[in-house]
Chain A
Amino acid sequence: MVHSIMCCCGSGLGSSMLVRMNVEKALKKLGASGISVSHSSLSDAAEGAADLFVVGKDLANFVKELPRVIILDNIMDKAELETKLKAEIEKE
């Protein structure tokens, strides 16, 4: 089960926060509740910090060691996020 999602970017201030807002909206749309969403810098992206990590394609290298990640081709594309998020949540 996914209980927590962390969105990451370089300094964890701007784009990761927008992705966080999009994730929250997408979760609502998918009817998934009880999942906490946060955003932070790449320095904080470590195993255990969250169940699932969301980053843009350009940062894929940073999260390749982590167990569950969503890599977004376009970080502002809500449709792409929704599809990938749905697939991850329904995994189990």
Chain B
Amino acid sequence: MDFIINILSTPAILVGFISLFGLLLQKKPAEDVVKGTVKTIVGFLVLTAGSSFLQTGSLNDFGTIFNYAFNMQGVVPNNEAIVSLGLKEFAQDTAYIMCLGMIANIVLARFSRLNYIFLTGHHTLYMACMIAVILNVGNLSGPLLWIGGGLMLGLIMVISPALCQPTMEKITGTSELGFGHFGGSGYWFSAQIGKLFKGKSKSTEEVNFPQRISFLRDTTVAIGLTMVIFFIIVTFVAVVVRDGMSDPTIAAFFQGETNTHWLVWAITKGFSFSGGVYIILSGVRLIIGEIVPAFRGIAEKLVPNAKPAIDCPVIFPYAPNAVLIGFLTSFVGGILGLFILGAINKALIPVALILPGVIPHFFCGASAGVFANAEGGLKGCLAGSFLHGLLITFLPAICMPVMGSLNFANCTFSDADFSILGIILGNITKFIKDGGLFGVCIVLFLLPIIFNIVAPKKQVQ
């Protein structure tokens, strides 16, 4: 018995089991079952290794030196980084929530009108982790946490695509594809802004826009370059402006067998961050590479007419200019947002400084740009993605205080849905805890199903 409990509480083996069940349910040949299970387990261990490399290699130092330079908490919005921290404490809970969340997604797709199957597996994993952290603040643990969390995960897996669907259909020209990316509420927001410019402007695709900046689509390059820039600015302020060499903690960074110049140190640390994320991504790829196809296969059998909700790059080819304009304006919004947060921190209340992460601004900003362009052309795209950039800077700052044990981390979740669900659930946990909180999860989950049964269906014209 001890042995079984031990297995089920060892996260790597637990995710291996989830994958094993998925493969068996699909009646895969034995060698595929073995291969898939092993890859999932190894993936989890790779993720853990990436996590510790990221922390010791650069994340912890970044926090220390940022704090010294600016006397504030500087936060890098990066999903991989924060999830790798969250998994340290909540790996087992995350695995169960992810598994139950996918089942809850199938139930909702079958019995409510939100018939989407959310296929962006890495976001499912990240969201499961965030829900585990936040519901745990509300005293849920063990099976109650897993079931309550799974239901919440299943719910957001259909609500997010549903929010995006009206504009998604305008972009792709078909109603068969859903949009599955946990920045959904941000894209919805951006599309609404775009609507204000309806018919007042030509499409982004009718103007000439240089495509060269698209090399930032390569995640490793994009993270590496931005983190080097962040590290150089912060280290410069700490060492040159604030005389960090006189502080033993800061000076220790540059002393080894030989002394490292602070600039060289900053460049190495910046690229180390990217290296850490690269390892984590490889691990995540191995984990979800087996689980998502199984999930899709099972879902297709149980809910054959559900719409697959697919990761954001699916819309990029429809509007390549909007992708780049969206990224740039969202990024500008992020920089402005950073200064606004700095001012708020100085004048009003202490808030975390959310740095403009190039990955959220690229993938989310680009998607926001495509959504806003579909509704309101070039002007809509500019306004929508700029405001989206501000939105994904302020939302994480508002969400930080409810993040429980991850409150003081130097990184956080970046995309809009993570922050919105975090803020909603986090604030609920302030008032309702324990069994009541579990009840809230069940009621929220049942609402769309009850609505489907009670409310009259629209007549199809």
Contacts and interface: CB of A to CB of B under 8 A. Distances in A.
A17 B292 contact: yes
B218 A14 contact: no
A10 B219 CA distance: 6
Closest 8 A/B residue pairs (Cβ): A14-B311, A43-B220, A11-B219, A15-B313, A13-B122, A42-B218, A57-B317, A58-B316
Contacts of B220: 41, 43
B211 interface: yes
Interface of B: 119-123, 177, 181, 211, 214-215, 217-221, 278, 281, 284-285, 288-289, 292-293, 296, 308, 310-314, 316-317, 320, 323, 359, 362-363
A21 B177 CA distance: 16
Contact of A58 (B119, B123, B323): B323
Interface stretch (A27-35, A70-78, A82-90): A70-78
Contacts of A62: 215, 217-218
Given A14-B120, A42-B218, A58 B313 contact: yes
B346 to A, nearest CB: 35
10 contacts: A9-B311, A10-B218, A11-B359, A14-B121, A17-B121, A17-B293, A43-B221, A58-B316, A59-B217, A62-B217
Residue in A12, A18, A56 with the greatest tally of chain B CB atoms within 10 Å: A18
B221, B311, B320, most chain A CB atoms within 10 A = B311
B313 A13 contact: no
Contacts of B120: 13-14
A62 B221 CA distance: 12
A16 to B, nearest CB: 8
A41 B181 CA distance: 18
Nearest to A71: B317
Given A13-B121, A17-B293, 5 more contacts: A13-B285, A15-B313, A58-B317, A62-B217, A76-B177
Main secondary structure of the interface of A (DSSP, over half): mixed
B312 A21 contact: no
A84 to B, nearest CB: 15
Majority DSSP secondary structure for residues of B touching A: helix
B281 A15 contact: no
A40 interface: yes
B307 to A, nearest CB: 11
A72 B317 CA distance: 9
Interface of A: 9-15, 17-18, 21, 39-43, 56-59, 61-62, 72-76
A43 B119 CA distance: 23
Given A13-B121, A14-B122, A76-B177, A41 B219 contact: yes
Contacts of A21: 293, 296
Contacts of B289: 17, 39
Nearest to A45: B218
Contact of B310 (A12, A57, A61, A76): A76
B317 A42 contact: no
B219 A43 contact: yes
Contacts of B293: 17, 21
Given A13-B285, A14-B122, A75 B317 contact: yes
Contacts of A11: 122, 219, 281, 359
Given A41-B281, A59-B217, A15 B317 contact: no
B328 to A, nearest CB: 16
A6 to B, nearest CB: 12
B278 A43 contact: yes
A26 to B, nearest CB: 15
A80 B93 CA distance: 41
Nearest to B217: A10
Contacts of B296: 21
A73 B217 CA distance: 17
Nearest to B362: A10
Given A14-B120, A43-B219, A9 B285 contact: no
B271 to A, nearest CB: 13
Contacts of B284: 13
Contacts of B317: 56-58, 72-75
A58 B214 contact: yes
B320 A58 contact: yes
A42 B308 CA distance: 24
Nearest to B176: A76
Given A10-B363, A14-B120, A56 B316 contact: yes
Contacts of B281: 11-13, 41
Contacts of A10: 217-219, 313, 362-363
Contacts of A42: 217-219
Given A61-B211, A61-B214, A74-B317, A15 B311 contact: yes
Nearest to B277: A11
A72 B359 CA distance: 24
A13 B177 contact: no
Contacts of A43: 218-221, 278
Interface centre among A12, A59, A61 (most CB of B within 10 A): A12
A73 B314 CA distance: 10
A15 B219 contact: no
